[in-house]
Structures are given as structure tokens and as C-alpha cells.
Structure 1
Amino acid sequence: MSLSEDKIQINIAMIGAGYWGPNLIRNFVEMSRAKLVAVADLDINRLDAIQRRYPTIKMTTTDYRELFRLENLDAVVIATPPTTHRDIARECMLHGLHVMVEKPLTLSVEESQELVDLAKERNLKLMVGHTYEYNAAIRAIKDIIESGEIGEVYYVDSVRTNLGLFSNKINVMWDLAPHDISVLHFLFGEMPNQISATGKANIVPNIHDIVYMHMDFPSGISAHLRASWLDPQKVRQLTVVGSKKMLVFDDVASLEKIKIYDKGVETLPYTETYKEFHLSYRYGDIVIPNISFVEPLRVECEHFVDSILLDSAPQTDGINGLRVVSVLEAAQRSLDNQGKMMPIELDEKYTT
């Protein structure tokens, strides 16, 4: 869908107003460059509540297909269960609409490739809600790593836990790990070579609520991820260990989200005094960078709107989402095969 060069506002419809939908609705309603004109959801009571709170939304419906009858609709935002992403996104693009879809893009590489190819064929924007790539702290960490301050990166450890919310459709890995996988790709600009995953379904049969993942990258970096719906604490923590310094990102912390530790270990040269293996441990200062906070979701929503108005490629476009799904699919194969290390399988045209 092409927009007139002088258009300064786009019309958006929301599909799905459940757990995450209200946050998206709030952001789009508050934006000057977007007008949220309609919301679709299966729950009529939820729709009534939304229309009472946001009277500027002119249309609500329990059938998202009714949105296709709206004149001058430019784009849709999809926040429905992941099992529905492929069908809804495909249908919207076939009706000429730009699409932003919550993570994960779909539940298979094949379905994600289909959406990426369709968006290219129809000259439409396809964007995935990898919100952490719009987080000022994560962007600061990328700058710190690229500056060389922490030295050669040895490994990354990421923990994402909470008590719930359980799903009976997808496991915790597909629910939570897309964030961590997208962050790793954003920070290091490379796909892992291989991945292994183990876990357990404690509550819902055959739906893993705790998963441990290990992945290796071409540069030599290794990453370890833990995702759990069955934990007493909400943890959103990323640790990056380098040859010079170490860094910890705590997204739950209200103020001190990044801490840089001047700590490390060095191998001392051989001497007659120390004929055996000898190490030196360094304990230096802790630096807490000052990060100006802007709600990452607001940045993400504005970026989607700007990509349409300016006809620019979204940072977390369909290919970005496809790459994350390819890692998750390989991890699922490993999970189904007792943790066997699995290669990441993705057509080369989507990796470069």
C-alpha cells in the first residue's frame, strides 16, 4: 500500500486486546502520527471497556475480518495468540495492510518465510514486536560492547523467569526466549551456529514450563538462556562477561539497570616462584551508566508508524523475526531429542 507523500498520520487497527493488547492500544492512542480507528477482539466485554476508556476509537468488533471493510485503513497490529499469527497476518497483507505482529512472528520457519516473502511481494511493512531492541539500556550495552570497554566477550548468560503466565498452546521457550534471542542478535550481529535445549513440563502435560538453552556463535561467544514460568521471582537479567570487564543488565531494577564491573582474571607469566598455573584476580570499581528512560514499547510503536510514513525498513522486520523463529525451531528439535545439539537451519538468502 502506497501513501501520499504529504500524509502525516496513518490509520491503524488493533487485533487482539488481551494481556499485551491494552499496552499497545494506550501507546497508539497517545501518538500524534497514528490514529487508532478500530479494535478487534473475541471478548465483547473487553471491547466495551476499551471503547468506554478510549471514545476516539470508532469501531470495535469480534470479527477481525470486518476491519477489511474500513476505508483508508493503513495498518494493523496483531497481539493474538502465536498460533494465530500466520493466518491473521497473511490475510491482512493480502488486503494490502502493513502489519506489526507480536513475538514470535509465527511458530515455524516455513510460516515465517511465507510472511516475509508476501510482504516483499506486496511492498508492505512487516514488523515484529521484539521490544528489547528498542530499549535504551540494551542499545547502551551494544555501544559499550562495540567500544571495546569490556574486551573480548567470552559468554552471555540470560535469565527470564516469573510465576506464570502459563499457556496450553506453546511452551515457555516460545513465550519468553524470543526476547533473549533477538537481543543476542542485536548485540553481536550474528546468528548462532547451533543450539541445545533441555527442560521439563511440571504443570501442564507436554508444555515445558522450564527450559535451559545453550548456543554457540561463529565468533566464539557462547550464550546460556534460562526461561521459566515456575519461579518465585520475576527476573529479567542479562550478564555479559568479557576479557576486561563484566556487565549486568537488570530490567526489573527501577533505576540502576546497567552495572559495569571492573573485574577480571588474568593468567600470570611463568616464573620460578610460581611454577604451576597461577592467576591474578582483579576487583575494581562498579560503574552505573546514566540511561535516559523512554518506554521501549512507545519507541517500538513510533518506529512502526515512521517506517510506513517514511517508507523505511523496520529494525525488527520480518527477516529479523524469521531469524529468531529459526533459532527457536532448532531449540525445539533439541528439546524433542533429549538436548541434542542442533544446527540452525535457514535459507542463506534470509541470513545475509
Structure 2
Amino acid sequence: MIEKLRVAVIGAGYWGPNLARNFRSSPEWELAAVCDLDLDRARRLAEQGGGTRAESSLAAVLAADDIDAVAIATPATTHHRITTAALASGKHVLVEKPLADTVEHGADMVGRAAAGGLVLMADHTYCYTPAVLKMRELIEEGALGDILFIDSVRINLGLIQPDVDVFWDLAPHDLAIIDFLLPGGLRPLAVSAVGADPLRSGKACVGYLTLPLQNGAMAHVHVNWLSPTKVRQMIIGGTRRTLVWDDLNPQQRLSVYDRGVDLDIQSLDGVERSAATVSYRLGDTWSPALPETEALRSMVDEFAGAIRGRRSPRTDGRAGLRVLTILDAARRSLAEDGAATAPIADLALAGNS
């Protein structure tokens, strides 16, 4: 029998109970403590599993020798303070998205974890869904060919957040997924953000991100708090096939289309020019079979595997930092009326550690 790792969940609000439930059900983990400034709320969550203690003091949790790791489910503005304190106490850390509230804070977290030989993992839950794992597999094996474009839509009605705009609320999901899917991660040449605030709420409620990629490819993300219908869809077009992910269609979440455009390139007088003829592929469509597994359960097991194996998790702190640099560039672009803005060099900020 492998001795279980012991974890404390920090934050018992919206996301904390989901983390607590999956840590409890995993054979890798023992939920040792739940910590929240509201002790009654911490107690209610702790009481759902025997042997879990409730705390209102973060210092008490971090001082406990019997806790190996913490999972942080608190507002982004608190992530840096809690994470650095946890790392200083020798705890491994799982952090809810986004990794931090600024690139500088995120880079500092990544650097401290590396210096201490500790695991820092970003809670990019969608990256552990069977659909996204299959998408990554298809891209890695070359089933789509070279990536030409990515179109992602995440729209719904509300909730309008009091502290962040629609980019920081919804786009981290899509950016984390794209970062997970692309070999080498998401490293756009620039970021252009256009947003609107038709409600005059003081923040963008509708937004579009344009991310030019290497080799002429492009990613585009549409986020919206005001849509009367909910859409969760991503289209990834390649030179060989196109993949469509519809997260709200449980019967057919993934569809692979052998359809596309082929453009012959001919050399005329030693100069490459597009031929006058364009051919269209109209092949079959198929849907890969997907297992029924809970993404959060896979994620907490990956957290344990990274700790035991002394390795980086699939969605490590650097993945969270890459997403953070794009959100930061989007914020700067939005302030400049959509001007193309270069992301800050995340690895340089992290000290290449």
C-alpha cells in the first residue's frame, strides 16, 4: 500500500468543495484540512468527510508537518501571497486559474517553486477532460497536419464578475486548452483584444482575442457574458483534417472532418506562386470514442503523480504563466483600442529556473 499524500484545501467557496470532493475520492490523497476565513463554512465542508479538520488560520495549516500540499481556491489577488507562503513552508501547491493577478507575481511563484524543488501546478481542469486529452493525442500524432487556425467560442448569460472583465473570467479556459494542445505551448507573436461594455458596467462584457501564431496560423477567442444561449465550442483546422469540439453535446463532443482546401504551389520561373486551381477535400466525418472520467479526478491524480515522480505536471506553473502573459497583453491591448501587443517574456521573468 502506498502511503497517501495529505492535502489542505484553501478556500471553501465556489470551487473549493469540488476540489475537496475529488481529493476525498482519490486513493492517492487524504483531505487533511479545509481552511477558510469563514470558519463555519470551512467546518461545513470539512464535516462532509471524516477526519478532516477545519481551520480559519492559514498560518496554522502551513505550519502543520502532516500536510504535504495545498490546493488554493481563492480569488486571484490572493494567489501570490498564499502560494509563496506555502512554498516557503515546503508545501507543494495547486492553484486555481488564473495563476496570479499579474505576470510578475506568477513569474515569482514559478521561480520560487523551481528553486525549492516543489511542484507548482495550475488548475487547468479542462485539460484533463477526455475530449481535450483526445484532441491533444490527435494533434501529436499528426492526424490534423499542420495547424492553420483555431476558433474558440465561450459565451453565456452572466455572471458579470465584480472584480474582473470577461477576458479574465472566461478566456483562461480557452487559452489553457490551446496552450495544452499546441506543441511547445501557446506562444503568440502578439495579442489584440477588442472589448465592449454596452451595459456600462465599467468592464468589458463582450470580447474578442486575436492571436497570430508561427507559420502564419492564427487563434481567435470569443468570450461574452451577454449571450442568451450558452456555447462552448472550438474548431481546429489543419492541413489534413479539421477537428470540432462541442463541449455541450454529450452524444458527440468531438468530430473530425476530412474536409478542407488544397492549394497547389507551382514554381514558375524559379518563383513560387499559387496555382490558379484550388481543390476541395470532401471526405468522411468521424467521432472518436471517449471514456467517461471526471476531469478533476484526473487532475488531482496528476498532481500526486508529479509529486511522487518529482516531475513537472502536465499543467505546470509555466503553463499557467503563459496564459497569464496573454491575459496581461490583452489588458494592455484593450487599453490601447485593440493595438497588437507583445506578451511579456514569461521565462525570462521566471529567471529561467
2:242 to 238, 246, 249: 246
In the alignment, is residue 312 of structure 1 matched against residue 311 of structure 2?
Answer: yes
How many angstroms apart in 2 are the aligned matches of 1:83 and 1:205? Answer: 21
Tell me the amino acid that sits aligned with residue 169 of structure 1. Answer: D
* Secondary structure of 1:213 counterpart: strand
Q: 1:148 to 1:51 in 2, by over 3 A?
A: closer
Unaligned runs of 5+ in 1: 1-5, 271-275
Write out the 4+ residue segments of structure 1 that deviate beyond 6 Å after TM superposition.
none
2:123 to 124, 129, 135: 129
Q: Which residue of 2 aligns with 1:217?
A: 213
How many angstroms apart in 2 are the aligned matches of 1:71 and 1:181? Answer: 36
Deviation at 1:122, TM superposition (A): 1.8
Tell me the amino acid that sits aligned with residue 338 of structure 1. Answer: D
Tell me the amino acid that sits aligned with residue 194 of structure 1. Answer: A
Deviation at 1:203, TM superposition (A): 4.1
Deviation at 1:90, TM superposition (A): 1.1
How many angstroms apart in 2 are the aligned matches of 1:19 and 1:145? Answer: 33
Tell me the amino acid that sits aligned with residue 298 of structure 1. Answer: R
* Secondary structure of 1:104 counterpart: coil
Moved more, 335-344 or 38-47: 38-47
Deviation at 1:29, TM superposition (A): 0.7
Q: Which residue of 2 aligns with 1:117?
A: 111
In the alignment, is residue 35 of structure 1 matched against residue 30 of structure 2?
Answer: yes
* Secondary structure of 2:24 counterpart: helix
On the 8 A contact 2:180/2:315 being kept in 1, the answer is no
1:179-231 alpha-carbon deviations (Å, 9 max, x no partner): 21122222222411111001123446322222100001123210000112222
Tell me the amino acid that sits aligned with residue 219 of structure 1. Answer: N
How many angstroms apart in 2 are the aligned matches of 1:45 and 1:229? Answer: 32
Q: Which residue of 2 aligns with 1:294?
A: 293
In the alignment, is residue 107 of structure 1 matched against residue 101 of structure 2?
Answer: yes
The two structures have a TM-score, normalised by structure 2, of 0.89
Q: 1:70 to 1:347 in 2, by over 3 A?
A: closer
In the alignment, is residue 96 of structure 1 matched against residue 90 of structure 2?
Answer: yes
Q: 1:19 to 1:266 in 2, by over 3 A?
A: same
Tell me the amino acid that sits aligned with residue 173 of structure 2. Answer: H
In the alignment, is residue 206 of structure 1 matched against residue 206 of structure 2?
Answer: no
Q: Which residue of 1 aligns with 2:62?
A: 68
Moved more, 96-105 or 36-45: 36-45
How many angstroms apart in 2 are the aligned matches of 1:52 and 1:305? Answer: 24
Q: Which residue of 2 aligns with 1:3?
A: none
* Secondary structure of 1:342 counterpart: coil
Q: Which residue of 1 aligns with 2:81?
A: 87
Give the share of equivalent positions with the same residue, in percent.
37
Deviation at 1:268, TM superposition (A): 7.5
On the 8 A contact 2:120/2:316 being kept in 1, the answer is yes
How many angstroms apart in 1 are the aligned matches of 2:243 and 2:2? Answer: 44
How many angstroms apart in 1 are the aligned matches of 2:67 and 2:146? Answer: 48
How many angstroms apart in 1 are the aligned matches of 2:98 and 2:240? Answer: 35
Q: Which residue of 1 aligns with 2:46?
A: 51
Unaligned runs of 5+ in 2: 267-274
In the alignment, is residue 26 of structure 1 matched against residue 21 of structure 2?
Answer: yes
Tell me the amino acid that sits aligned with residue 22 of structure 1. Answer: P
The two structures have a TM-score, normalised by structure 1, of 0.90
CA RMSD of aligned residues (A): 2.3
1:56-100 alpha-carbon deviations (Å, 9 max, x no partner): 31x112332221242311110001011111111111112221110
Moved more, 333-342 or 283-292: 283-292
1:91-128 alpha-carbon deviations (Å, 9 max, x no partner): 11122211100111102111011111111222211111
In the alignment, is residue 148 of structure 1 matched against residue 147 of structure 2?
Answer: no
Deviation at 1:334, TM superposition (A): 0.4
On the 8 A contact 2:322/2:346 being kept in 1, the answer is no
How many angstroms apart in 2 are the aligned matches of 1:262 and 1:341? Answer: 33
Tell me the amino acid that sits aligned with residue 34 of structure 2. Answer: V
How many angstroms apart in 1 are the aligned matches of 2:163 and 2:104? Answer: 19
Q: 1:38 to 1:204 in 2, by over 3 A?
A: farther
